[in-house]
Amino acid sequence: MTWSELSELLAVGLQETAWMVFVSTVLTAVGGLLLGILLVLTAPGGMLAAPAVSSVLGFIVNVTRSLPFIILLVAVIPFTRAVVGTTIGTDAAIVPLTIGAIPFFARIVEAALREVPPDVVAAATAMGATRRQIVGKVLLREARPGLVAGLTITVIALVGYSAMAGVVGGGGLGDLAIRYGYQRFDTQVMIATVIALIVFVQLVQTAGDILVRRLSHR
Amino acid sequence: MYVIEIAGLRKTYRAKGRRDRAVVAVDGVDLSVAEGDVFGVLGQSGAGKSTLLRCVNMLERPDEGTVKVGGVDLTALDRRGLREARHGIGMIHQHFALLSSRTVAGNVAFALEVTGVPRNERRERVAELLELVGLGGRADAYPSQLSGGQKQRVGIARALAARPKVLLSDEATSALDPETTDSILRLLLDLNQRLNLTILLITHEMNVVKRICRSAAVMRDGRFVESGAITDLLDRPDSELARGLFPLDAPTSLDGHTVVDVTVSGDGADAPLLAEVARRFDIDVRIMAGSVEQLAATRAGRFRLAVPAGDDAPLNYLSERGARIGRPTAPSPIEIQGAAS
């Protein structure tokens, strides 16, 4: 394989991985944030304490989190077909990626929001803040460094998950590694894929760290 | 006129899932705080004073009783009504409870946002409030860059943002060193006088009561052991507060002498009473212990005296001159706190 062929393959793989990770990150950020906020608010002693809702949500999150991603990927195939119309390709992979990552990120959001000291929330309540103000201006705002750090972890987990999408023809760097590295014993492609992934993850982590440092004033 | 009126307040916490393990935090407290007063609730941790304070702005909902602030019964309000009522009640906290993600100015502005002050008026009001608490130059600092005393000043500025009539103080100086405590207490007293701000504070430090309170209550096991104006409490022979403010050792006896504890306040504190008694009755009066102190409420002193046994006339004379005579009493539990601070 020539250098130009290899770089062509890598460029396509990277692009597909980046696309899958990007779209599912956006969806996960929104979904996970909402679910995480709900988990905190409905928990016993929370602002909207609802034990039944809280345990149902918790159960759903735990079920999804118990399944290894490769199994989840296969299990949701009917749902994927209903949503995207196909089960092959990067767009199809985004569905299980998002379903797998939302509960993961939701738990991180939950933990980050719980880190906000209770007396800060009490102080806002005592000032006469509405629940909306407390969630928006106190919980989310104060937890921002933790949320960004958590999202960074989630993006990197998604890079890992997206490689497995290659197993079911999802495209991306994982697909490349399986078809060339595993099925054709092409060490050159394998090494190139590994390097590309390392660089990709390093960039995400560094960007996340910089952002966290900027946001953190503790 | 009373700004805070609490009647029959009761609050019980139930251990989760175990009805039999209930903890009575506040067990029937009545409390009235007059406009412009500085009222201190003194008690050790676990006495229920924190729960009591949190019931005043409904951070905790009482099980029984009424809580009126400015004539409005807070227990009867709906959520919106309660939010509005809370704008009139400032609160400061032991660990400051500032937003770490906002600057000093941002923290004060938060209180204004919550109260619904329009954006264009906020900046000026923030500057005014920071000036009031002596933090004019630190508007752009983050809380993590401030000392404890400065953080509490931000807390005070924030609490005053909505121009409340009442300030609740939850152990506001307990996390501060003695000098910083003094400066914060001076600031609170200054605000009390300049703004006619009514202050209800809870503390375990006798020093706080000594420095700024005009009224006080001693709380133990969810109840008030005694409460009222400090000048009145000093008049009671067995007042725990008096014993706490002026700690004397465990009583000792002296052969041929009667040992008594004498409390004087107001003008009596500085009158040469003991010299008068000694001259008038030609006796030796021994001072075994005692001190005179300037309290926020009044100037007062307490002594343990030994006078020759057998003649009541000298002690009767002291009583006539306004001193309270009592049998020597053991230190009260709260004295330990007073001595430590």
pLDDT confidence of residue A167: 73
Structure tokens at A213: 């440092």
- Closest C-alpha to B261, from B270, B249, B269: B249
Q: What is the pLDDT of residues A164-194, one digit of tens each?
A: 877 777 788 888 888 888 888 888 888 999 9
Q: So where are chain B's domains?
A: 2-234, 247-340
Range name among A51-65, A79-93, A164-178, B192-206 with the lowest pLDDT average: A164-178
Q: What is the largest CA-CA distance in chain B?
A: 78
Helix ranges, B22-78 (H): 49-56
Whether the CB-CB separation of B123 and B202 falls below 8 Å is answered with no
For residue A60, is it left (φ>0), alpha (ψ between -120 and 50) or beta? Answer: alpha
Q: Which amino acid is at A174?
A: G
Q: What is the dihedral of CA A57, A63, A66, A68, to 10 degrees?
A: -110
What CATH fold (topology level) applies to the domain B2-234?
Answer: Rossmann fold (3.40.50)
The DSSP secondary-structure symbol of B99 reads -
pLDDT confidence of residue B336: 47
Domains in chain A, number: 1
CB contact under 8 A, A123 and B101: no
Q: What is the ipTM of this complex?
A: 0.87
Q: Is the pLDDT of residue A151 over 60?
A: yes
pLDDT confidence of residue A16: 92
- Cα A105 → chain centroid: 6
Q: Is residue B89 less than 8 Å (CB to CB) from chain A?
A: yes
> Whats the size of chain B, residue-wise?
341
pLDDT confidence of residue B225: 94
CB contact under 8 A, B91 and A126: yes
Phi, psi angles (nearest 5°) of residue B9: -75, 130
Sort out which chain B residues have CB atoms less than 8 A from A144's CB and list them: 101
The DSSP secondary-structure symbol of B238 reads T
pLDDT confidence of residue B341: 38
Q: Is residue A130 less than 8 Å (CB to CB) from chain B?
A: yes
pLDDT confidence of residue B311: 85
Task: Assign residue A56 the CATH number of its domain.
Answer: 1.10.3720.10
As beta bridge partners, residue B219 has B224
Helix (H, G, I), strand (E, B) or coil at A34: helix
- A122-137: burial string, b at 16+ Cβ within 10 Å, e else: bbbbbbbbeeebbbeb
pLDDT tens string, chain B, 341 residues long: the values are 899 999 999 999 887 666 667 889 999 999 999 999 999 999 998 899 999 999 999 999 999 999 999 999 999 999 999 999 999 999 999 999 999 999 999 999 999 999 999 999 999 999 999 999 999 999 999 999 999 999 999 999 999 999 999 999 999 999 999 999 999 999 999 999 999 999 999 999 999 999 999 999 999 999 999 999 998 998 887 788 888 888 888 888 888 899 999 999 888 788 888 889 999 999 989 899 988 889 988 899 999 999 998 888 999 999 998 888 888 887 766 644 544 43
Q: How many Cβ atoms sit within 10 Å of the Cβ of residue A205? A: 15
The DSSP secondary-structure symbol of B147 reads -
- Cα B181 → chain centroid: 13
pLDDT confidence of residue B147: 96
pLDDT confidence of residue B333: 64
- Cα B281 → chain centroid: 41
The DSSP secondary-structure symbol of A135 reads I
pLDDT confidence of residue A145: 96
Structure tokens at B111: 């209180």
- Nearest C-alpha of chain A: how many angstroms from B4? 16
Whether the CB-CB separation of B2 and B32 falls below 8 Å is answered with yes
Angle in degrees, CA B221, B226, B228, rounded to 5: 135
Q: Is residue A117 less than 8 Å (CB to CB) from chain B?
A: yes
- Assign domain B247-340 to its CATH architecture: 2-Layer Sandwich (3.30)
Whether the CB-CB separation of A188 and A6 falls below 8 Å is answered with yes
pLDDT confidence of residue B1: 83
Sort out which chain B residues have CB atoms less than 8 A from A141's CB and list them: 99, 101-102
Structure tokens at B101: 């993600």
